[in-house]
Structure 1
Amino acid sequence: MVFYANRLPYEVLFVCAIFGVLTLLYALPIFSRKRNLRSFYGAKMYTIAFVWAGVTVLLPVLNAGQELGIDVWISFVQRFLFVVVITLPFDMRDLNYDRNEIHTIPKSLGIKYTKVLGVGLLIIFIIMEFFKDQFQYKNLVALCIVAVASALFLIRSSDKQSTYYASFFVEGLPMIWWGLLCVLPELLS
């Protein structure tokens, strides 16, 4: 890690440090009464989504020396929304096991309204693609397929899901998205 860190630009290291600190605050009990970010109302999901979006969108752009234009920020928000949505089945699964001080969307809204919220966020996720300056049809097709798959997994989620439902199938959605982005240019040309 030290070897590669010496070869990264300072702004990349700085952003890595920010996301690293957020990850530590999420996991380690640092705050008073042995609390971490997971314990604060709503912080669990948003911390995960923010770090995922930052590491998978902002860091590669910064490392490539490109500017953080409107398309990058739209992609960041899209990734944030996507991670929020695919985290919802995990929160539904853990509904009966989470401690009372861990406040999640399913605990606040209930399972039915959590699903409605998730589908609404996926619609916003797709609509945002049309606002990009560098609109690409293959990206829209991949986004729509992943959004529909995410919606189906979300709708089928419950507090009594199988062991591998969220941990394998839902967590595999980013890999399906990546696979679609690799295969679609060949299929659509």
Structure 2
Amino acid sequence: MREVSDKPAAAVPAFLTGLRRWADAILYSSMLVAAAATSLTWATFLFWRVDIPFRLAALIFAATLFLYNIDSVLPYKFRQQAVLSGRKLWLIQHRRGLFGLALVALALATLLFWLDGWQHLTLFLGHLAAISLLYSFPVLKVRGHWRALRDLPLLKGFLIAYVWAAITVWVPALYLGKPLLAPVVLMLFGRRFFFILALTFVFDIRDYTKDLLGGTRTFPGIFGIRAAKILSLLCLVVSGLLIPPGLAPVQLLILTLPTLLTGLIVWFADETRPDYYFALLADGLMVAQFLAVYWAA
């Protein structure tokens, strides 16, 4: 009898294993997060019917990649008493590579910053960079322990939302010469701020046990996970009510879809969910925001 080869059957698991490795590398090295920051910035340009300049997109991508990867390789984070998830184990195993990637991203961001003449905004961009770095670095001594800004009670989400809204809304406004305090700019800023703030609750739920063990007091840790979900949904409602002027009903419907999807992700969030629930779905919602704006434009 002719033997049936098991090579095709073996090839399928091998393919899936390879696909999983690539997905881990893209998601856990913050490539998707950097793409999300770039996409949301592009979405703001599209509101004014302008495409994002390529080098500005590269600058934002590289700067985001640097900040998130330098955060993930900080020595003190590996000494924290916390539950090791698959994502955390991957970060530990690829720590050197992530540090190298962060340095390359920093070099590229610095080069683009000088070549494109952003020096006149050094103070503005510098304060965002300072918040982003101090967010993770333990620089404050509280009750004998060194703490980062993220460890101050309830401040974590607001810092993230502010920096993301400033980068993705105010930077395009500055590039196009629009006043930051103009009503339409403030509306776009508020819409983006509350959308990102809603997402931060999802990641606080993911880190619920780790934050409790590490002494970081977030909304889920203080008020409970259910209350944090309700607050997150309220943030989404506020974001959805901040409607940019001049939208047709069909455009408004398209822009509402990512908000509704975000609500579902928030409601079903739980720290026992797989890492991909947060790294792919939650982060991917920011790219979905851009796609909605792109289709509605």
The alignment partner of 2:117 has SS state of coil
2:266 aligned partner: 154
* 2:150 is aligned with 1:41: no
2:84 aligned partner: none
* 2:221 is aligned with 1:104: no
CA RMSD of aligned residues (A): 1.8
* 2:98 is aligned with 1:7: no
The alignment partner of 1:27 has SS state of coil
Does structure 1 conserve the Cα–Cα contact (< 8 Å) formed by 2:151 and 2:217? yes
Mapped to 1, the partners of 2:148 and 2:240 lie a distance apart of 33
Mapped to 2, the partners of 1:77 and 1:139 lie a distance apart of 19
The alignment partner of 1:115 has SS state of helix
* 2:282 is aligned with 1:173: no
Q: Show structure 1 runs of 4+ deviating over 6 A.
A: none
Mapped to 1, the partners of 2:178 and 2:251 lie a distance apart of 20
Gaps of 5+ in 2: 1-109
Mapped to 1, the partners of 2:218 and 2:240 lie a distance apart of 24
1:115 to 229, 248, 268: 229
Once the two structures are TM-superposed, the CA of residue 145 in structure 1 deviates from its matched residue by: 0.7
Once the two structures are TM-superposed, the CA of residue 12 in structure 1 deviates from its matched residue by: 2.7
Deviations 1:121-145 (A, max 9, x none): 111111121xx4x332365334311
Deviations 1:39-60 (A, max 9, x none): 1011111111110010111111
Aligned length: 182
TM normalised by structure 1 equals: 0.88
Mapped to 2, the partners of 1:65 and 1:8 lie a distance apart of 15
What does 1:1-189 correspond to in 2, within 5 Å? Answer: 1-2=110-111, 4-5=113-114, 7-32=116-141, 33-68=145-180, 69-98=182-211, 99-129=213-243, 132=244, 134-137=245-248, 140-185=252-297
The alignment partner of 2:173 has SS state of helix
Does structure 2 conserve the Cα–Cα contact (< 8 Å) formed by 1:8 and 1:63? no
The alignment partner of 2:135 has SS state of helix
2:48 aligned partner: none
Deviations 1:27-70 (A, max 9, x none): 11112232110110111111111100101111111122122211
Does structure 1 conserve the Cα–Cα contact (< 8 Å) formed by 2:113 and 2:119? no
Does structure 1 conserve the Cα–Cα contact (< 8 Å) formed by 2:255 and 2:296? no
Once the two structures are TM-superposed, the CA of residue 86 in structure 1 deviates from its matched residue by: 1.0
Higher Rg: 2
Once the two structures are TM-superposed, the CA of residue 100 in structure 1 deviates from its matched residue by: 4.6
When residues 142 and 19 of structure 1 are mapped into structure 2, their CA distance, relative to the original with a 3 A threshold, is: farther
Gaps of 5+ in 1: none
Mapped to 1, the partners of 2:149 and 2:140 lie a distance apart of 8
Residue identity over aligned pairs, in percent, reads 24
Letter in 1 for 2:114: A
Higher mean C-alpha deviation, range 144-153 or range 63-72: 63-72
Mapped to 2, the partners of 1:8 and 1:81 lie a distance apart of 31
Once the two structures are TM-superposed, the CA of residue 4 in structure 1 deviates from its matched residue by: 3.2
TM normalised by structure 2 equals: 0.57
Letter in 2 for 1:105: F
Mapped to 1, the partners of 2:197 and 2:176 lie a distance apart of 26
The alignment partner of 2:138 has SS state of coil
